[in-house]
Structure 1
């Protein structure tokens, strides 16, 4: 895959898109002054290839651009448009894709819609690149998540921004970001061709087989340990079962076989049971009866109290009648006084306003009282009989109440017995559960033989897979391929006369360090111990040129382009306005760097595309032939940059 064009679309859609064309299979140089947007080209291409978290500057580009589109071509001459909308936040998942033949070109602004997403874009692009359906499974215990190998990892080999190309501590794009270094170590062997889905699958199966082997070993160890501790623990459980009545007399010192047999007997023994009674209903009936009897007893007590009151009142009444009759009987002693006129006062002979009763009236009253007294005395035996009847009925109720209380107490005793029986059954169930667990964990001789056989099968499976993985020997194969890459690196480093290269027997890439390492008779020398930004950039150049040359020669599924930003920054002031005006730079070395880029492109015969954004503008014909954009003011002073001047009006 190589790049054909990059397009930026204006925010309001009224202006034509800004299109930057690239030449496939060639050196493409974008030169110009500072602050013209050269460095942003690399970030935009990276974003269009599916980067979820864009690294786009929040300046004129963000203020004026609505969509970014990238036109790419593949080895079969098919084309694909990869477009992403301007992110409205920290990231976006929206995308636009379109595929076609070699006539496909940059779409019009009105054609751009969200018809895809980043995941689909990466999947389609990975498939077209030839990246296999490869789910990378980290080694067991690595502590990181598995992932699908895709364009996301392949693109890390295709970019070098101006901070990365001069970094002496890291060799690859985004290597210093969290997790990226490990992702490069995991996937670089695949992209080099030393590992693939088959090796990853075998390693994954080996990890699973090793886990199965460890599990089988643990089960066997546990069974042997449980068998060794069965004598003490099993005998203790048998004694507990004996105490709860689950076993008859247990021998004083049973052997292991007897203990296991007794445990099975205790497990099969049934706990004591009681006939379930509906005690709650019976208790309710007795309580209802007790309330009724208490009410009846209260009624009888009140009736007896009323009879007693009547008798007391009767005795008081008859006593009073006897007293009055005794007084009135004195009237029988009167003589002629009986005929006295009671209307005249016997003392003053004056008429009385209220005449006194006559002796005759008093005699009649006496007879009436004597009659009432006789009648009252006839009622007393009736009252006594009624009281005796009430007392007898009360005694019967009292006896029934006593029987009711006895029955309630018996129910309470039954409740206590049931609770005790339930508690005993709970203890029995607990003991039987412990016995069942112990028997489950304790393997018989046949169980242990089976576990030994399982372990032997697991060990045999692991040994077979280890042999297959050893035959793969991904690490050794990766080192061999990196050694092939080191041949070109060494030659080009010596050609550029980089620091330390003259004494080095080999200049290569260390997979462990993800950096350039020089091998010398005196020992290894990593890039971190080599000074000068000129050397840092030079070693980055030779490493990536040799890597991509190897990838192209072996037809590996990595995009066939390399984007470099400011590879000559070490030869100019920190922020040159225009490097072409700097007189005291080491132009011979700058020319040598670009000449190497051009030579490597020619060496790959159209299979490699190199895109360079730089301040330098050499006068050599081959350099000018490679220039795809010169972003310097024209003869009329008009500014030329990534964002057209009329977009800023």
Structure 2
């Protein structure tokens, strides 16, 4: 699988084509911000990835559709995708076409026919990825899954931020869960985990699942048989407690005796007397209200008596107090006389007259109060007798009500007993239905033995598979070419063997005494050498052994490490003169010559696409240019295309 061409469509229907050579080195060089780095994002977008990673700017503003034509051995596949809608960062709808040779469609012919899942399935199948499932231990928390075309992306793209990154060897390696995905799927893509092992592992998982299910059924059967007698005795006790009559079986077996409970019929329930209870409750309510009314009258009369008694006591006390100090006139022989004055002194004064009138009135009121007391006492006695009679009637009514309620409760108990008995009969019926026979248990035991033998046999056959040894052999084959590439690129420690460390996803230099991992080396040119050495060696093995990894590699701006600064590198802008003036020219030539030779000698026909700022005057370099150096214009997106 290689890249035949990339096509973008303007919103007014125009099309821009970038056509590649499917064999060997392809170089696109030019100024910054002309769309070179976006090419890998467009290709990945059209390989089934829904997320749209093209940077904000001209491309997003002016391009309506993206399309890539992929070249396979005997056919071509066109995948076209619309740009995500405004406000969205992804799109999963596509247009798919297959054919011997595909002509890029016109804008009016673009229409959605499928989705990213279809792209993933088709490209995976045409690439030759076998049926597979990642090898995950049974007790592991992560799930198994199928390796597909998306799992080859790690080895196809070396973006600007990755190509010389000492901490990250593969594309997307720094994202969550991706390192484990690389470790799980690379053995499959390198042909280590084949279809035979996949089938055996599938059969083993199925057999292990069946064994677990049968083991649970066997455990349930054993428990049921062991506890059946105990449960039967308990159910018999419950049945007798709720009044179910049981007939003892001839064999005396408890289980057989329980079967007679299935013939139980509920006892008839008589009607209750709700009206009588209601009538008694109404009478009792009236009697209690009458009692409360009588009590209110008694309380009022008692309060009146207390106030009268208080008035009488207060008046007598005041009178006695004044008398004691001889402050009141007294009647002597029919005439009033002040006790402290001469006889008949000022007795006809207004004060004396008023005081004498008050004394006469007080005397009369006290005589009235004393006269009413016998009537009030008689009234209180009468009301208290009525209360006692009414309390007696209330007690009688309460006794009658309790008896009526008790009678109704007894009637309800018959219904409750029937309900309880029905529940017990239901449990007995369920127990008898689920009763496990000895034959059933013997069947589960025989099935358990059969499945255990099958699982052991499959595990033995899988254990005979030398997957681990074969993977180590493949990694050794890949590593064997790495040191040579590192030396050609001028990398440090090239005199020592280098190897690909799949466990840590890095490059290791096996220096005597202490191995050196890539992140412990210095210099961007060294990191670039290790990256390219690992990827080229991996693709060399895959190409030579016809493994299902696409036959292309995209590298973005690799020569930046050979310039004194990023500013000088970007200022090169595809100029031969600026490249020769500012770059480590020998290193740049070595890099591109290595990539050129790789596609013609090490892995003939392998496609490498490089997007760059540097430019060389060598004929083989100029022959590798896809187009004239990109400037403004020309660039990926023409300036006269309308914006959205």
TM-score, normalized by length of structure 2? 0.69
**Corresponding residue of 2:533:** 542
For structure 1, which segment, 590-599 or 261-270, has the greater mean C-alpha deviation from structure 2 after superposition? 261-270
The one-character-per-residue Cα deviations of 1:237-274 (angstroms, maximum 9, x if unpaired) are 55445544558799xxxxxx98xx32442354257544
SS in 2 for 1:480: helix
Query: Any idea what SS the aligned residue of 2:558 has?
Result: coil
Give the alignment of 1:160-559 within 5 angstroms. 160-221=158-219, 239-244=237-242, 261-266=253-258, 268-270=260-262, 273-274=265-266, 276=268, 279=271, 416=409, 419-431=412-424, 448-504=441-497, 506-510=498-502, 512-522=503-513, 524-559=515-550
Secondary structure at the aligned position of 1:7 is classed as strand
Residue 52 of structure 2: aligned partner: 54
In 2, Cα distance between the equivalents of 1:123 and 1:41?
23
* Cα distance in structure 1, aligned partners of 2:230 and 2:269: 42
Q: Which residue of 2 aligns with 1:6?
A: 6
Contact conserved, 1:3 with 1:561, CA < 8 A, in 2? yes
Residue 586 to residue 229, structure 1, CA distance change in 2 (3 Å): farther
Partners of 1:522 and 1:209 in 2: how far apart? 48
For residues 411 and 474 of structure 1, what CA distance do their matches in structure 2 show?
87
Shift of 1:596: 1.7
Offset of 1:599 from its aligned partner? 1.7
Displacement after TM superposition at 1:92 (Å): 1.2
Q: Do 2:476 and 2:499's aligned partners in 1 also have CA atoms closer than 8 Å? A: no
Cα distance in 2 between the residues matched to 1:71 and 1:209:
44
Residue by residue over 1:110-145, the C-alpha shift from the partner in whole angstroms, topping out at 9 and shown as x without a partner, is 332323332333333333323345566855454445
Deviates more, 1:108-117 or 1:446-455: 446-455
Displacement of 1:565 in angstroms is: 0.7
Which residue, out of 98, 105, 108, partners 1:107? 105
Which position in structure 1 is the counterpart of 2:637? 643
Q: CA deviation at 1:612?
A: 0.6
Deviation at 1:541, TM superposition (A): 0.7
1:106-125 equivalent positions in 2, closer than 5 A: 106-125=104-123
The change in CA–CA distance for 1:628 and 1:432 in structure 2 (over 3 A counts) is same
Q: Which residue in the other structure is 1:375 paired with? A: none
Q: Using the TM superposition, name which of 113-122 and 153-162 deviates more.
A: 113-122
Other-structure match for 2:321: none
Counterparts of 1:420 and 1:262, CA distance in 2: 29
2:154 matched to which residue of 1? 156
Structure 1 position 550, deviation (Å): 1.6
Distance 1:434 1:518 in 2: 74
Cα offset for 1:91? 1.0
Cα gap change, 1:185 to 1:434, in 2 (>3 Å): farther
1:475 deviation in Å?
A: 3.6
Provide the rounded CA distance (Å) in 2 between the counterparts of 1:238 and 1:571: 93
Is 1:589 aligned to residue 572 of structure 2?
A: no
The number of equivalent residue pairs is 513
- Give the conservation status (yes or no) of the 8 Å contact 2:486–2:529: yes
CA apart distance, 1:433: 5.8
Distance 1:616 1:98, change over 3 A: same
1:623 corresponds to: 621
Displacement of 1:449: 4.0
- How far 1:198 sits from its partner (Å)? 4.1
**What TM-score do you get using the length of structure 1 for normalisation?**
0.69
Q: Which residue of 2 aligns with 1:358?
A: none
User: For residues 491 and 439 of structure 1, what CA distance do their matches in structure 2 show?
Assistant: 79
Q: Distance in 2 between matches of 1:421 and 1:471?
A: 73
Select 1:86's aligned residue among 80, 83, 87. Answer: 83
> What secondary structure, in the 3-state scheme, does the structure 1 residue paired with 2:610 have?
strand
1:41, distance to aligned residue in structure 2 (A) = 1.2
Change (3 A) 1:69 1:220: closer
Structure 2 residue 557 is the aligned partner of structure 1 residue 566: yes
Q: Is the 8 A contact 2:38 2:55 kept in 1?
A: yes
* Gaps in structure 1 of 5+ consecutive residues: 251-256, 291-407
* Structure 1 residue aligned with 2:374: none
In structure 1, the partner of 2:66 is 68
1:483-510: CA deviation from partner (whole Å, max 9, x where unpaired): 2222222332344343344233x41241
State the SS of the aligned residue for 2:554: strand
Give the CA deviation at 1:611.
Answer: 0.4
Q: Deviations over 1:364-390 (max 9, x none)?
A: xxxxxxxxxxxxxxxxxxxxxxxxxxx
C-alpha distance in 1 between matches for 2:622 and 2:208: 61
Query: What is the distance in 2 between the residues matched to 1:441 and 1:531?
Result: 73
Cα distance between partner residues in 2 of 1:275 and 1:229: 32
Q: Which runs of 5+ in 2 are unaligned?
A: 280-400
Using the TM superposition, give the Cα deviation of residue 627 of structure 1 relative to its aligned residue in structure 2, in angstroms. Answer: 1.7
Deviation at 1:539, TM superposition (A): 1.4
Q: Given that residues 43 and 56 in structure 1 are in contact (C-alpha distance below 8 angstroms), is that contact kept between their aligned partners in structure 2?
A: yes
Alignment partner of 1:34 is 2:28? no
Say if 1:411 and 1:133 are closer, same or farther in 2 by CA, change over 3 A: farther
CA 1:267 to 1:640, structure 2 compared with 1: closer, same or farther past 3 Å?
Answer: same
Q: Which structure has the larger Rg over C-alpha atoms?
A: 1
